[in-house]
Structure 1
Amino acid sequence: MRIENSFIPVEGVGETTERRLWGEGVTTWEAFDPAADVAGVGPTTADRIESFIAEALTHLDDGDAAYFDRTFPSGERWRLYENFREGTCFFDIETTGLDEHRDRVTTVSFHRDGETTTLVAGDDLTADRLREQFADADLLATFNGARFDVPFLESSFDIEIDTPHLDLMYPCRRVGLSGGLKPIETEIGIDRDRPDLSGRDAVRLWRQYERGDEDALDHLVSYNREDTENLRTLADVVCERLHEDVFVGDAPGR
Protein backbone atom coordinates (compact mmCIF):
# COMPACT_ATOMS: atom_id res chain seq x y z
CA MET A 1 0.00 0.00 0.00
CA ARG A 2 1.27 3.42 -0.94
CA ILE A 3 0.79 6.82 0.57
CA GLU A 4 -1.25 7.87 -2.46
CA ASN A 5 -3.93 5.32 -1.53
CA SER A 6 -4.50 7.00 1.82
CA PHE A 7 -7.11 9.54 2.88
CA ILE A 8 -6.98 8.87 6.61
CA PRO A 9 -4.70 11.85 7.42
CA VAL A 10 -7.55 14.22 6.49
CA GLU A 11 -9.56 15.70 9.34
CA GLY A 12 -13.01 14.11 9.32
CA VAL A 13 -11.87 10.98 7.45
CA GLY A 14 -11.61 7.89 9.64
CA GLU A 15 -11.19 4.27 8.71
CA THR A 16 -14.87 3.85 7.80
CA THR A 17 -14.98 6.82 5.45
CA GLU A 18 -11.70 5.82 3.85
CA ARG A 19 -13.10 2.36 3.15
CA ARG A 20 -16.19 3.91 1.64
CA LEU A 21 -14.01 5.95 -0.71
CA TRP A 22 -12.09 2.84 -1.75
CA GLY A 23 -15.36 0.94 -2.18
CA GLU A 24 -16.53 3.62 -4.61
CA GLY A 25 -13.35 3.20 -6.65
CA VAL A 26 -11.53 6.18 -5.16
CA THR A 27 -8.41 4.18 -4.41
CA THR A 28 -5.86 6.90 -5.24
CA TRP A 29 -5.64 10.66 -4.78
CA GLU A 30 -5.87 11.05 -8.54
CA ALA A 31 -9.24 9.29 -8.57
CA PHE A 32 -10.80 11.65 -6.04
CA ASP A 33 -13.70 13.77 -7.37
CA PRO A 34 -15.06 16.31 -4.88
CA ALA A 35 -18.42 16.16 -6.65
CA ALA A 36 -18.78 12.38 -6.21
CA ASP A 37 -21.49 11.14 -3.87
CA VAL A 38 -19.72 9.15 -1.15
CA ALA A 39 -21.39 8.55 2.20
CA GLY A 40 -19.66 10.53 4.92
CA VAL A 41 -17.92 12.89 2.51
CA GLY A 42 -19.80 16.17 2.53
CA PRO A 43 -18.63 19.44 0.96
CA THR A 44 -16.44 20.40 3.92
CA THR A 45 -14.69 17.03 4.03
CA ALA A 46 -14.31 17.05 0.25
CA ASP A 47 -12.60 20.45 0.44
CA ARG A 48 -10.27 19.15 3.14
CA ILE A 49 -9.41 16.13 1.02
CA GLU A 50 -8.62 18.33 -1.96
CA SER A 51 -6.43 20.61 0.14
CA PHE A 52 -4.61 17.64 1.66
CA ILE A 53 -3.94 16.07 -1.74
CA ALA A 54 -2.54 19.30 -3.15
CA GLU A 55 -0.21 19.77 -0.18
CA ALA A 56 0.74 16.11 0.12
CA LEU A 57 1.68 15.77 -3.55
CA THR A 58 4.28 18.50 -3.14
CA HIS A 59 5.80 16.79 -0.12
CA LEU A 60 5.73 13.42 -1.86
CA ASP A 61 7.56 14.87 -4.87
CA ASP A 62 10.15 16.27 -2.45
CA GLY A 63 10.58 12.88 -0.75
CA ASP A 64 9.58 14.45 2.56
CA ALA A 65 8.92 11.44 4.79
CA ALA A 66 8.82 13.66 7.87
CA TYR A 67 5.68 15.39 6.59
CA PHE A 68 3.81 12.09 6.30
CA ASP A 69 5.19 10.93 9.64
CA ARG A 70 3.52 13.99 11.18
CA THR A 71 0.23 13.77 9.29
CA PHE A 72 -0.50 10.03 9.42
CA PRO A 73 -1.91 8.47 12.61
CA SER A 74 0.90 6.66 14.42
CA GLY A 75 -0.80 3.30 13.91
CA GLU A 76 -0.78 3.85 10.13
CA ARG A 77 2.93 4.69 9.79
CA TRP A 78 3.46 1.38 8.00
CA ARG A 79 1.83 2.98 4.95
CA LEU A 80 4.99 5.07 4.45
CA TYR A 81 7.13 2.00 3.90
CA GLU A 82 6.36 1.23 0.25
CA ASN A 83 7.13 4.78 -0.87
CA PHE A 84 10.31 5.08 1.19
CA ARG A 85 11.48 1.47 1.05
CA GLU A 86 14.78 2.23 -0.68
CA GLY A 87 15.58 5.01 1.77
CA THR A 88 14.70 2.95 4.84
CA CYS A 89 17.49 2.30 7.34
CA PHE A 90 16.96 -0.88 9.36
CA PHE A 91 18.95 -0.93 12.57
CA ASP A 92 19.44 -2.95 15.72
CA ILE A 93 21.65 -2.59 18.78
CA GLU A 94 23.32 -4.98 21.20
CA THR A 95 24.03 -3.95 24.78
CA THR A 96 25.50 -5.27 28.02
CA GLY A 97 22.07 -5.11 29.68
CA LEU A 98 18.66 -3.48 29.65
CA ASP A 99 19.34 -0.33 31.68
CA GLU A 100 20.18 2.58 29.39
CA HIS A 101 21.71 4.51 32.30
CA ARG A 102 24.05 1.76 33.55
CA ASP A 103 24.69 -0.55 30.61
CA ARG A 104 26.67 0.02 27.41
CA VAL A 105 25.88 -0.26 23.73
CA THR A 106 28.33 -2.77 22.25
CA THR A 107 27.41 -2.94 18.56
CA VAL A 108 24.96 -1.21 16.24
CA SER A 109 24.19 -2.54 12.77
CA PHE A 110 22.52 -0.63 9.95
CA HIS A 111 21.07 -2.22 6.81
CA ARG A 112 20.14 0.00 3.89
CA ASP A 113 19.89 -0.49 0.14
CA GLY A 114 21.43 -3.95 0.37
CA GLU A 115 24.45 -2.87 2.41
CA THR A 116 25.09 -3.53 6.10
CA THR A 117 27.37 -1.48 8.34
CA THR A 118 28.27 -2.40 11.92
CA LEU A 119 29.75 0.02 14.46
CA VAL A 120 31.62 -1.44 17.45
CA ALA A 121 32.19 0.10 20.88
CA GLY A 122 35.78 1.15 21.44
CA ASP A 123 36.37 1.36 17.70
CA ASP A 124 34.01 3.33 15.46
CA LEU A 125 30.82 3.46 17.52
CA THR A 126 30.64 7.21 18.15
CA ALA A 127 27.93 9.87 18.28
CA ASP A 128 29.14 11.36 15.00
CA ARG A 129 29.02 8.02 13.17
CA LEU A 130 25.53 7.38 14.48
CA ARG A 131 24.35 10.81 13.35
CA GLU A 132 25.75 10.13 9.87
CA GLN A 133 23.76 6.91 9.54
CA PHE A 134 20.49 8.45 10.69
CA ALA A 135 20.86 11.71 8.77
CA ASP A 136 20.88 9.98 5.37
CA ALA A 137 17.76 7.88 6.00
CA ASP A 138 14.21 8.69 4.94
CA LEU A 139 12.71 6.20 7.40
CA LEU A 140 14.05 4.09 10.26
CA ALA A 141 12.80 0.57 10.91
CA THR A 142 13.35 -1.43 14.08
CA PHE A 143 11.69 -4.07 16.23
CA ASN A 144 10.79 -2.61 19.62
CA GLY A 145 13.14 0.25 18.84
CA ALA A 146 10.78 2.96 20.06
CA ARG A 147 11.01 1.61 23.60
CA PHE A 148 14.54 0.23 23.55
CA ASP A 149 17.02 0.97 20.74
CA VAL A 150 16.23 4.64 20.18
CA PRO A 151 16.12 5.80 23.84
CA PHE A 152 19.20 3.67 24.63
CA LEU A 153 21.22 5.36 21.88
CA GLU A 154 19.94 8.83 22.73
CA SER A 155 20.86 8.40 26.38
CA SER A 156 24.21 6.71 25.78
CA PHE A 157 25.50 9.07 23.11
CA ASP A 158 23.64 12.30 23.89
CA ILE A 159 22.06 12.45 20.43
CA GLU A 160 18.55 13.14 19.19
CA ILE A 161 17.05 10.70 16.71
CA ASP A 162 14.18 12.46 14.96
CA THR A 163 14.07 10.56 11.66
CA PRO A 164 10.60 9.07 10.98
CA HIS A 165 10.51 5.68 12.66
CA LEU A 166 8.55 2.52 11.86
CA ASP A 167 8.67 0.20 14.87
CA LEU A 168 7.70 -3.13 13.31
CA MET A 169 6.57 -4.65 16.61
CA TYR A 170 3.24 -2.80 16.34
CA PRO A 171 2.37 -3.68 12.72
CA CYS A 172 3.30 -7.28 13.60
CA ARG A 173 0.70 -7.30 16.34
CA ARG A 174 -1.93 -6.03 13.91
CA VAL A 175 -1.46 -9.11 11.74
CA GLY A 176 -1.38 -11.53 14.68
CA LEU A 177 2.39 -11.85 15.07
CA SER A 178 3.16 -11.42 18.75
CA GLY A 179 6.15 -12.11 20.96
CA GLY A 180 9.79 -11.42 20.31
CA LEU A 181 11.63 -11.04 17.02
CA LYS A 182 13.06 -14.58 16.89
CA PRO A 183 9.71 -16.44 17.29
CA ILE A 184 8.13 -14.12 14.70
CA GLU A 185 10.95 -14.84 12.27
CA THR A 186 10.36 -18.55 12.72
CA GLU A 187 6.62 -18.15 12.19
CA ILE A 188 7.03 -16.34 8.86
CA GLY A 189 9.85 -18.61 7.63
CA ILE A 190 12.98 -16.53 8.13
CA ASP A 191 15.98 -18.81 8.72
CA ARG A 192 19.07 -17.90 10.73
CA ASP A 193 22.65 -19.13 10.46
CA ARG A 194 22.82 -19.37 14.28
CA PRO A 195 19.26 -19.83 15.57
CA ASP A 196 20.69 -20.92 18.94
CA LEU A 197 22.02 -17.44 19.79
CA SER A 198 19.98 -15.02 21.90
CA GLY A 199 20.29 -11.63 23.52
CA ARG A 200 21.93 -13.24 26.55
CA ASP A 201 24.52 -14.78 24.26
CA ALA A 202 25.20 -11.32 22.83
CA VAL A 203 26.13 -10.12 26.32
CA ARG A 204 28.29 -13.20 26.91
CA LEU A 205 30.09 -12.79 23.59
CA TRP A 206 30.94 -9.18 24.38
CA ARG A 207 32.37 -10.17 27.76
CA GLN A 208 34.48 -12.82 26.07
CA TYR A 209 35.73 -10.25 23.57
CA GLU A 210 36.68 -7.91 26.42
CA ARG A 211 38.82 -10.75 27.76
CA GLY A 212 40.64 -10.96 24.44
CA ASP A 213 38.57 -13.40 22.37
CA GLU A 214 38.43 -11.85 18.89
CA ASP A 215 36.31 -14.71 17.56
CA ALA A 216 33.61 -13.80 20.07
CA LEU A 217 33.37 -10.33 18.53
CA ASP A 218 33.02 -11.88 15.08
CA HIS A 219 30.11 -14.00 16.32
CA LEU A 220 28.49 -11.00 18.02
CA VAL A 221 28.76 -8.83 14.92
CA SER A 222 27.35 -11.62 12.77
CA TYR A 223 24.41 -12.02 15.17
CA ASN A 224 23.72 -8.28 15.23
CA ARG A 225 23.92 -7.99 11.44
CA GLU A 226 21.52 -10.90 10.99
CA ASP A 227 19.03 -9.24 13.35
CA THR A 228 19.21 -6.10 11.27
CA GLU A 229 19.08 -7.66 7.82
CA ASN A 230 16.10 -9.83 8.78
CA LEU A 231 14.13 -6.69 9.60
CA ARG A 232 13.96 -5.94 5.87
CA THR A 233 12.24 -9.26 5.17
CA LEU A 234 9.96 -8.77 8.16
CA ALA A 235 8.92 -5.31 6.96
CA ASP A 236 8.18 -6.62 3.48
CA VAL A 237 6.04 -9.48 4.80
CA VAL A 238 4.12 -7.51 7.42
CA CYS A 239 3.40 -4.48 5.24
CA GLU A 240 2.18 -6.76 2.46
CA ARG A 241 -0.15 -8.55 4.89
CA LEU A 242 -1.49 -5.21 6.10
CA HIS A 243 -1.97 -4.11 2.51
CA GLU A 244 -4.08 -7.20 1.89
CA ASP A 245 -6.05 -6.77 5.10
CA VAL A 246 -6.60 -3.03 5.03
CA PHE A 247 -6.65 -2.02 1.39
CA VAL A 248 -7.23 -4.89 -1.01
CA GLY A 249 -9.74 -6.52 1.34
CA ASP A 250 -11.91 -3.40 1.15
CA ALA A 251 -11.45 -2.67 -2.51
CA PRO A 252 -11.89 -5.99 -4.37
CA GLY A 253 -9.92 -6.35 -7.56
CA ARG A 254 -7.61 -3.41 -6.82
Structure 2
Amino acid sequence: MRIENSFIPVEGVGETTEQKLWRNGITHWNEFERGIVGETTSERIASFIDTARTRLDAGDSRFFDDIFPSSHQWRLYENFHDDACFFDIETTGLSQTNNKVTTVSIHQSGETRTFVNDAAPGVGEPLTSDVIQETISTAPLLVTFNGKRFDVPFLETAFDISIDAPHIDLMYPCRQLGLSGGLKQIEQDIGIGRDQPDITGRDAVRLWRQYESGDEDALSTLISYNRDDTVNLRTLMEHVSNTLHEDVFASVCQS
Protein backbone atom coordinates (compact mmCIF):
# COMPACT_ATOMS: atom_id res chain seq x y z
CA MET A 1 0.00 0.00 0.00
CA ARG A 2 1.35 3.39 -0.97
CA ILE A 3 0.91 6.83 0.52
CA GLU A 4 -1.05 7.85 -2.58
CA ASN A 5 -3.79 5.37 -1.63
CA SER A 6 -4.32 7.15 1.67
CA PHE A 7 -6.79 9.83 2.72
CA ILE A 8 -6.70 9.21 6.46
CA PRO A 9 -4.26 12.06 7.24
CA VAL A 10 -6.98 14.56 6.30
CA GLU A 11 -8.82 16.25 9.17
CA GLY A 12 -12.25 14.70 9.50
CA VAL A 13 -11.34 11.55 7.55
CA GLY A 14 -11.21 8.45 9.71
CA GLU A 15 -11.04 4.82 8.70
CA THR A 16 -14.76 4.68 7.91
CA THR A 17 -14.65 7.63 5.51
CA GLU A 18 -11.46 6.43 3.88
CA GLN A 19 -12.97 3.00 3.29
CA LYS A 20 -16.09 4.64 1.84
CA LEU A 21 -13.89 6.40 -0.71
CA TRP A 22 -12.10 3.16 -1.59
CA ARG A 23 -15.39 1.26 -2.01
CA ASN A 24 -16.54 3.95 -4.41
CA GLY A 25 -13.49 3.45 -6.59
CA ILE A 26 -11.40 6.31 -5.22
CA THR A 27 -8.35 4.28 -4.31
CA HIS A 28 -5.68 6.80 -5.37
CA TRP A 29 -5.25 10.56 -5.15
CA ASN A 30 -5.55 10.76 -8.94
CA GLU A 31 -9.05 9.28 -8.75
CA PHE A 32 -10.44 11.71 -6.20
CA GLU A 33 -13.64 13.46 -7.14
CA ARG A 34 -16.12 15.44 -5.11
CA GLY A 35 -19.54 14.13 -4.18
CA ILE A 36 -18.65 10.96 -2.31
CA VAL A 37 -18.16 12.88 0.93
CA GLY A 38 -19.39 16.27 2.13
CA GLU A 39 -18.21 19.53 0.63
CA THR A 40 -16.06 20.57 3.60
CA THR A 41 -14.31 17.21 3.71
CA SER A 42 -13.90 17.27 -0.07
CA GLU A 43 -12.19 20.67 0.15
CA ARG A 44 -9.83 19.36 2.82
CA ILE A 45 -9.00 16.27 0.78
CA ALA A 46 -8.30 18.32 -2.35
CA SER A 47 -6.04 20.67 -0.39
CA PHE A 48 -4.25 17.73 1.22
CA ILE A 49 -3.61 16.07 -2.13
CA ASP A 50 -2.10 19.25 -3.60
CA THR A 51 0.30 19.62 -0.67
CA ALA A 52 1.05 15.91 -0.32
CA ARG A 53 1.97 15.50 -4.00
CA THR A 54 4.57 18.24 -3.66
CA ARG A 55 5.99 16.78 -0.44
CA LEU A 56 6.09 13.26 -1.90
CA ASP A 57 7.88 14.47 -5.03
CA ALA A 58 10.44 16.09 -2.70
CA GLY A 59 10.94 12.82 -0.81
CA ASP A 60 9.78 14.45 2.41
CA SER A 61 9.17 11.38 4.56
CA ARG A 62 9.04 13.52 7.70
CA PHE A 63 5.95 15.35 6.43
CA PHE A 64 4.06 12.07 6.13
CA ASP A 65 5.43 10.71 9.39
CA ASP A 66 3.97 13.77 11.11
CA ILE A 67 0.51 13.61 9.56
CA PHE A 68 -0.23 9.87 9.51
CA PRO A 69 -1.82 8.37 12.63
CA SER A 70 0.74 6.22 14.44
CA SER A 71 -1.18 3.00 13.74
CA HIS A 72 -0.94 3.72 10.00
CA GLN A 73 2.71 4.77 9.73
CA TRP A 74 3.48 1.40 8.10
CA ARG A 75 1.96 2.89 4.93
CA LEU A 76 5.12 4.98 4.44
CA TYR A 77 7.20 1.89 3.78
CA GLU A 78 6.26 1.17 0.18
CA ASN A 79 7.24 4.68 -0.90
CA PHE A 80 10.52 4.83 1.00
CA HIS A 81 11.62 1.18 1.11
CA ASP A 82 14.59 1.65 -1.25
CA ASP A 83 16.41 3.88 1.24
CA ALA A 84 14.86 2.63 4.48
CA CYS A 85 17.41 1.96 7.22
CA PHE A 86 16.89 -1.29 9.13
CA PHE A 87 18.99 -1.41 12.25
CA ASP A 88 19.52 -3.28 15.50
CA ILE A 89 21.92 -2.80 18.40
CA GLU A 90 23.53 -5.07 20.98
CA THR A 91 24.53 -3.83 24.44
CA THR A 92 26.16 -5.00 27.63
CA GLY A 93 22.86 -4.64 29.51
CA LEU A 94 19.57 -2.78 29.69
CA SER A 95 20.70 0.40 31.46
CA GLN A 96 21.30 3.32 29.13
CA THR A 97 23.49 5.02 31.71
CA ASN A 98 25.45 2.06 33.11
CA ASN A 99 25.86 -0.15 30.04
CA LYS A 100 27.32 0.43 26.60
CA VAL A 101 26.48 -0.32 22.99
CA THR A 102 28.67 -3.12 21.63
CA THR A 103 27.56 -3.52 18.02
CA VAL A 104 25.19 -1.78 15.62
CA SER A 105 24.17 -3.40 12.33
CA ILE A 106 22.50 -1.43 9.57
CA HIS A 107 20.84 -2.86 6.46
CA GLN A 108 20.18 -0.27 3.77
CA SER A 109 20.00 -0.34 -0.04
CA GLY A 110 20.83 -4.04 -0.07
CA GLU A 111 24.02 -3.61 1.97
CA THR A 112 24.62 -4.64 5.58
CA ARG A 113 27.24 -2.87 7.67
CA THR A 114 28.25 -3.61 11.25
CA PHE A 115 29.86 -1.10 13.57
CA VAL A 116 31.75 -2.35 16.60
CA ASN A 117 32.64 -0.51 19.79
CA ASP A 118 36.44 -0.52 20.14
CA ALA A 119 36.63 -2.33 16.82
CA ALA A 120 39.78 -4.30 16.18
CA PRO A 121 41.38 -3.90 12.74
CA GLY A 122 39.45 -5.89 10.16
CA VAL A 123 36.51 -6.58 12.50
CA GLY A 124 33.52 -4.47 11.62
CA GLU A 125 33.73 -0.68 11.41
CA PRO A 126 34.45 1.65 14.33
CA LEU A 127 31.29 2.70 16.17
CA THR A 128 31.23 6.46 16.72
CA SER A 129 28.64 9.19 17.19
CA ASP A 130 29.50 10.55 13.72
CA VAL A 131 28.70 7.18 12.17
CA ILE A 132 25.30 7.06 13.87
CA GLN A 133 24.51 10.61 12.81
CA GLU A 134 25.53 9.99 9.21
CA THR A 135 23.71 6.68 8.76
CA ILE A 136 20.74 6.41 11.10
CA SER A 137 19.86 10.03 11.81
CA THR A 138 19.75 11.02 8.13
CA ALA A 139 17.73 8.06 6.81
CA PRO A 140 14.33 8.86 5.28
CA LEU A 141 12.81 5.98 7.24
CA LEU A 142 14.01 3.82 10.12
CA VAL A 143 12.72 0.30 10.71
CA THR A 144 13.36 -1.49 14.01
CA PHE A 145 11.78 -3.92 16.42
CA ASN A 146 11.20 -2.27 19.81
CA GLY A 147 13.56 0.46 18.67
CA LYS A 148 11.43 3.34 19.88
CA ARG A 149 11.67 2.14 23.46
CA PHE A 150 15.15 0.62 23.41
CA ASP A 151 17.53 1.05 20.46
CA VAL A 152 16.97 4.74 19.71
CA PRO A 153 17.01 6.09 23.29
CA PHE A 154 20.01 3.86 24.08
CA LEU A 155 21.97 5.29 21.15
CA GLU A 156 20.92 8.83 22.01
CA THR A 157 22.16 8.45 25.59
CA ALA A 158 25.32 6.53 24.73
CA PHE A 159 26.48 8.94 22.04
CA ASP A 160 24.82 12.18 23.20
CA ILE A 161 22.94 12.60 19.92
CA SER A 162 19.36 13.10 18.78
CA ILE A 163 17.68 10.68 16.38
CA ASP A 164 14.34 11.95 15.11
CA ALA A 165 14.04 10.35 11.67
CA PRO A 166 10.66 8.86 10.68
CA HIS A 167 10.49 5.49 12.38
CA ILE A 168 8.43 2.32 11.96
CA ASP A 169 8.78 0.18 15.07
CA LEU A 170 7.60 -3.23 13.87
CA MET A 171 6.56 -4.34 17.33
CA TYR A 172 3.36 -2.29 17.00
CA PRO A 173 2.08 -3.28 13.53
CA CYS A 174 2.96 -6.88 14.44
CA ARG A 175 0.55 -6.56 17.35
CA GLN A 176 -2.11 -5.27 14.93
CA LEU A 177 -1.67 -8.60 13.13
CA GLY A 178 -1.88 -10.63 16.33
CA LEU A 179 1.85 -11.36 16.35
CA SER A 180 3.17 -11.09 19.88
CA GLY A 181 6.38 -11.88 21.71
CA GLY A 182 9.92 -10.94 20.79
CA LEU A 183 11.49 -10.72 17.35
CA LYS A 184 12.73 -14.34 17.39
CA GLN A 185 9.29 -15.68 18.32
CA ILE A 186 7.60 -13.69 15.57
CA GLU A 187 10.18 -14.84 13.04
CA GLN A 188 9.37 -18.44 13.95
CA ASP A 189 5.63 -17.79 13.79
CA ILE A 190 5.77 -16.53 10.20
CA GLY A 191 8.53 -18.85 9.00
CA ILE A 192 11.61 -16.61 8.82
CA GLY A 193 14.69 -18.80 9.22
CA ARG A 194 18.17 -18.09 10.55
CA ASP A 195 21.54 -19.54 9.58
CA GLN A 196 22.94 -19.26 13.10
CA PRO A 197 21.82 -21.19 16.21
CA ASP A 198 19.31 -19.35 18.39
CA ILE A 199 21.05 -16.74 20.52
CA THR A 200 19.43 -14.53 23.14
CA GLY A 201 20.21 -11.02 24.32
CA ARG A 202 21.86 -12.55 27.35
CA ASP A 203 24.09 -14.61 25.06
CA ALA A 204 25.02 -11.39 23.26
CA VAL A 205 26.32 -9.92 26.52
CA ARG A 206 28.27 -13.10 27.25
CA LEU A 207 29.81 -13.10 23.78
CA TRP A 208 31.01 -9.53 24.20
CA ARG A 209 32.61 -10.37 27.55
CA GLN A 210 34.36 -13.32 25.93
CA TYR A 211 35.63 -11.03 23.18
CA GLU A 212 36.95 -8.59 25.77
CA SER A 213 38.84 -11.53 27.26
CA GLY A 214 40.52 -12.18 23.92
CA ASP A 215 38.10 -14.53 22.13
CA GLU A 216 37.88 -13.19 18.56
CA ASP A 217 35.49 -15.99 17.54
CA ALA A 218 32.97 -14.75 20.12
CA LEU A 219 32.89 -11.36 18.42
CA SER A 220 32.37 -12.99 15.03
CA THR A 221 29.39 -14.89 16.44
CA LEU A 222 27.98 -11.72 18.00
CA ILE A 223 28.31 -9.80 14.75
CA SER A 224 26.62 -12.60 12.80
CA TYR A 225 23.74 -12.62 15.29
CA ASN A 226 23.36 -8.84 15.11
CA ARG A 227 23.42 -8.88 11.33
CA ASP A 228 20.78 -11.62 11.17
CA ASP A 229 18.52 -9.51 13.38
CA THR A 230 18.93 -6.57 11.06
CA VAL A 231 18.51 -8.33 7.73
CA ASN A 232 15.48 -10.23 9.01
CA LEU A 233 13.82 -6.93 9.87
CA ARG A 234 13.45 -6.27 6.16
CA THR A 235 11.79 -9.64 5.62
CA LEU A 236 9.46 -8.99 8.54
CA MET A 237 8.66 -5.48 7.28
CA GLU A 238 7.73 -6.89 3.88
CA HIS A 239 5.45 -9.44 5.55
CA VAL A 240 3.79 -6.80 7.72
CA SER A 241 3.35 -4.36 4.85
CA ASN A 242 1.88 -6.97 2.50
CA THR A 243 -0.44 -8.44 5.12
CA LEU A 244 -1.75 -5.08 6.31
CA HIS A 245 -2.20 -4.06 2.68
CA GLU A 246 -4.49 -7.05 2.19
CA ASP A 247 -6.34 -6.49 5.45
CA VAL A 248 -6.75 -2.71 5.29
CA PHE A 249 -6.83 -1.86 1.59
CA ALA A 250 -7.22 -4.74 -0.82
CA SER A 251 -10.02 -6.48 1.09
CA VAL A 252 -12.04 -3.25 1.24
CA CYS A 253 -11.55 -2.48 -2.45
CA GLN A 254 -12.71 -5.98 -3.38
CA SER A 255 -15.82 -5.91 -1.19
Smaller-chain TM-score range? over 0.9
SS of the equivalent of 2:236 reads helix
Amino acid at match of 2:141: L
Matches within 5 A, 1:190-205: 190-205=192-207
1:133 match: 135
- 1:79 paired to 2:75: yes
SS of the equivalent of 1:27 reads coil
Displacement, 1:195?
Answer: 3.4
With 191-200 and 117-126 compared, the bigger mean Cα shift is at: 191-200
With 147-156 and 127-136 compared, the bigger mean Cα shift is at: 127-136
Query: Aligned partners of 1:228, 1:246: CA distance in 2, in Å?
Result: 27
Amino acid at match of 1:11: E
Cα deviation, 1:196-236, whole Å, max 9, x if unaligned, reads 21111100000000000011000000000000000000000
Amino acid at match of 2:173: P
2:122 match: none
Amino acid at match of 1:106: T
TM-score normalised by length of structure 2:
0.96
Query: Aligned partners of 1:61, 1:13: CA distance in 2, in Å?
Result: 23
- 1:240 paired to 2:236: no
The gaps in structure 1 that reach 5 residues or longer are: none
TM-score normalised by length of structure 1:
0.96
Alignment partner for residue 116 of structure 1, among 104, 112, 115?
Answer: 112
SS of the equivalent of 2:49 reads helix
Alignment partner for residue 186 of structure 1, among 165, 185, 188?
Answer: 188
Matches within 5 A, 1:211-250: 211-250=213-252
CA-atom RMSD, angstroms?
0.9
Query: Aligned partners of 1:177, 1:249: CA distance in 2, in Å?
Result: 20
SS of the equivalent of 1:159 reads coil
**Where do 4+ consecutive residues of structure 1 move more than 4 Å?**
none
1:29 match: 29
Query: Aligned partners of 2:186, 2:197: CA distance in 1, in Å?
Result: 13
Query: Aligned partners of 1:176, 1:238: CA distance in 2, in Å?
Result: 11
Amino acid at match of 1:242: L
Query: Aligned partners of 1:197, 1:156: CA distance in 2, in Å?
Result: 24
1:8 match: 8
Query: Aligned partners of 1:95, 1:196: CA distance in 2, in Å?
Result: 17
Cα deviation, 1:111-147, whole Å, max 9, x if unaligned, reads 0111001110113111001111124421000000000
Amino acid at match of 2:241: C
CA contact (8 A) 2:137 2:164 kept: no
Paired-residue identity, %: 63
